[in-house]
Structure 1
Amino acid sequence: MRPKKVTLDMIAQVAGVSRATVSLVVRKSPLVADRTRKKIEQVMADLDYVRDIGAARLRNNSSRTIGVIVPNLVNSFFTEFLSGAERIMGEDDRVVLLANSHDDLSRQDDILQRFRGHGVDGVILCPAEGTEPGLLTRIQGWGMPVVQSLREVGQDLTDYAGADYIEGVRLAVQHLVDHGWRRIAFLSVTAHTSASDERLKGFARALALTGAEDADTVEVELTWDGAAGSAEKVLALPNRPTGVLCFNDILAAGLMLGLRRAGLEPGVDVAVVGLDDLPLAQLTYPPLTSVAVFPEQIGASAARLLVRRLADATAPIERSIVSPQLMARQSSWQEAD
């Protein structure tokens, strides 16, 4: 025999409140007193109530789901980013569907079509390398609100949430120069996106501002193998650097491993600075100097922008940029000769 479905009326009867009050609690409305809310939530738990999302979708013409597309899951940055987005969407009574494009345009298109099939209410998109601005127009033509985050294609086509990477790179280069590391290389990624472009632009500006010497740019794949093999390329530069600024903490951790394999001490022989300030930065040896860009805040900002867009499709385009902060640790503390 199938168990009897628990309804709002049943919960209301047990809790001694109206069905409307139970409905407010289910929809996480702030209009219900805390004591009453806790009582109703306890009854819901005791009766093992599960909300019928399908029925709610039919009533409201909304799936209460949104899609998030990121380019890779190698980098735990995106885990923190997703955490922020999920928190805000949970407050808005929505569920997040996560997909990894692997920086592949065809896969990104497939994911978007699947999201359409699932009837997601909107999308937070970190565009795959090579994404054309026309994709944003297509998505909007489907009636699907979209917010770009961390990477951006086109100009002012959608709401955008990201970090000030130009300022973050400036902070890193200034820190290296202040500690005597004046011949600086940039360890970047092979993927050419707005995120890499901003870092390169910031690097050029910071060199000009500080008078530091450009030891050139090295590009590697954003993989663990690519990161581990980066030291060989860096050390082979004609103008061997005394300091290296890395695209992110993964490349920085791999570089430090490679430097040690080459008999060099990070922070003593070569200074290393990362970008992102993931938990990994405090687990390397020596601990990694990095520029915090607060991915959870960015994810939350992207979600808020999407909630705003879902509420008002005609709202003006908005940008949310999180300010970076330098976290100095031993990988760059030692003074250069």
Structure 2
Amino acid sequence: MQSKITLRDVARVAGVSRATVSLVVRRSPLVAEATRLRVEEVMASLDYVRDIGAARLRDKSSRTIGVLVPNLVNSFFTEFLSGVEQVMGEGERVVLLANSQDDPTRQDEILHRFRGHGVDGVILCPAQDTDPRLLGRLRQWDLAVVQALREIGVEETDFAGGNYIDAVALAMRHLVSLGHRRIAFLSVAAQTSAREERLKGLTQSLIETGAENGGIVEAELSWEGAARSAARILELPARPTAVLCFNDVLAAGLMAGLRQAGKVPGRDMAVVGLDDLPLAELLHPSLTSVAMMPQRIGELAARLLVRRMTDAKASIQRSILSGQLKVRESSGNRIV
């Protein structure tokens, strides 16, 4: 069996010191570019693998963090995760992903498993009905925590997310500019801070624009659930001419439901989403949405967690991104 390649082996072949190889491994800017390239070439030729276990012992760290999201139906969370992994990869940390399925009991079980694995920190998107006292328990575990996209408690932890109040306002102003006066809102049923924020944005926007609340319809977060919501929207006493959706998943499902009912999205009823996932451009008609940049939010959450793991007593910080309206076919033309 081949013996394990060490830093000294790499240093000997590359003709540099062990300390130089160590700096290259840790991506230090102190190494000259030509030297770094030569060392990296030798590492590749020798199939060198860094001993993460030794690094863990030196740092007294597991080099792992946990990310807990409420569902994997919405591809927003996969893009969010890619942002987290990009930042954590810079520090050679491994990311453990888990899905709470929006169940606080399952969430607790996963957090205990994370604790058992000795994770250094957690990025938490809380399940609906999460008891705010959970944050106190996590503090007792000396576990660094950043909340993302949803929040329990009032600024008790660092937080990263998007400004959905303003995102809703962008979408509503766009619809009103096209002549829509009666606008419905298609929401998930889960009672979370994410829903509260969107509804707050809706209330403020209705006052600002003078538009009429066309009704709030709830749907389960699934393609089928969103499609079924189309019938209920079409049956509203005063049928809306436009629907703003909680996210792009509901918007896509609603558009499918409208077509099943013989209606053409963007012509018979305008539809606008929130998040601007890649599917927005692939739908027919293409979906008008407010881009919330989930990968960037993931990066912000990860950097907040790195900061928190480095300094447990640092002041609480919030990183909030604003959205950008992406106008496509589903919002239709101006009403004449």
Using structure 1 for the length normalisation, give the TM-score. Answer: 0.98
- Identity of aligned pairs, percent? 67
Q: Which moved more, 1:188-197 or 1:112-121?
A: 112-121
Number of residue pairs matched by the alignment: 336
1:60-99 to 2 correspondence within 5 Å? Answer: 60-99=59-98
Partner of 2:27: 28
The CA distance in 1 between the partners of 2:16 and 2:299, in whole Å, is: 34
Q: Which moved more, 1:176-185 or 1:228-237?
A: 228-237
Task: Tell me if structure 1 keeps the 8 A contact 2:14–2:39.
Answer: yes
Q: CA deviation at 1:107?
A: 1.4
- Amino acid paired to 2:234: L
Q: Residues 121-163 of structure 1, C-alpha deviation per residue, up to 9 Å, x if partnerless?
A: 1111101111121111111211110000000000111000000
Partner of 1:207: 206
Partner of 2:216: 217
The CA distance in 2 between the partners of 1:319 and 1:26, in whole Å, is: 32
Partner of 2:183: 184
Q: Residues 32-67 of structure 1, C-alpha deviation per residue, up to 9 Å, x if partnerless?
A: 222211211111111111122112111110111111
The CA distance in 1 between the partners of 2:38 and 2:237, in whole Å, is: 71
Q: Which moved more, 1:108-117 or 1:243-252?
A: 108-117
Q: Residues 54-93 of structure 1, C-alpha deviation per residue, up to 9 Å, x if partnerless?
A: 1211111011111111111111101110111111111222
Partner of 2:38: 39
- Amino acid paired to 1:146: V
Task: Tell me if structure 2 keeps the 8 A contact 1:161–1:319.
Answer: yes
Contiguous gaps of at least 5 residues in structure 2: none
Task: Tell me if structure 2 keeps the 8 A contact 1:276–1:293.
Answer: yes
| Residue aligned with 1:229, SS | helix
The CA distance in 2 between the partners of 1:17 and 1:132, in whole Å, is: 56
Task: Tell me if structure 2 keeps the 8 A contact 1:161–1:302.
Answer: yes
Q: Residues 215-245 of structure 1, C-alpha deviation per residue, up to 9 Å, x if partnerless?
A: 1100010012112212011111112110000
Matched, 1:315 2:322: no
Partner of 1:271: 270
Contiguous gaps of at least 5 residues in structure 1: none
- Amino acid paired to 1:170: A
Task: Tell me if structure 2 keeps the 8 A contact 1:268–1:335.
Answer: no
Task: Tell me if structure 1 keeps the 8 A contact 2:182–2:212.
Answer: yes
The CA distance in 2 between the partners of 1:148 and 1:104, in whole Å, is: 16
Matched, 1:324 2:323: yes
1:135-174 to 2 correspondence within 5 Å? Answer: 135-174=134-173
The CA distance in 2 between the partners of 1:43 and 1:253, in whole Å, is: 50
Partner of 1:52: 51
The CA distance in 2 between the partners of 1:9 and 1:269, in whole Å, is: 71
Task: Tell me if structure 1 keeps the 8 A contact 2:227–2:258.
Answer: no
The CA distance in 2 between the partners of 1:66 and 1:37, in whole Å, is: 29
The CA distance in 2 between the partners of 1:131 and 1:324, in whole Å, is: 27
Task: Tell me if structure 1 keeps the 8 A contact 2:292–2:324.
Answer: yes
Using structure 2 for the length normalisation, give the TM-score. Answer: 0.98
Q: CA deviation at 1:23?
A: 1.2
Q: CA deviation at 1:96?
A: 1.1
Q: CA deviation at 1:182?
A: 1.1
Partner of 1:132: 131
The CA distance in 1 between the partners of 2:276 and 2:46, in whole Å, is: 44
Partner of 1:229: 228
Task: Tell me if structure 2 keeps the 8 A contact 1:127–1:151.
Answer: yes
Partner of 1:286: 285
The CA distance in 2 between the partners of 1:40 and 1:211, in whole Å, is: 65
The CA distance in 2 between the partners of 1:109 and 1:50, in whole Å, is: 35
The CA distance in 2 between the partners of 1:226 and 1:267, in whole Å, is: 20
Partner of 2:301: 302
Task: Tell me if structure 2 keeps the 8 A contact 1:289–1:332.
Answer: yes
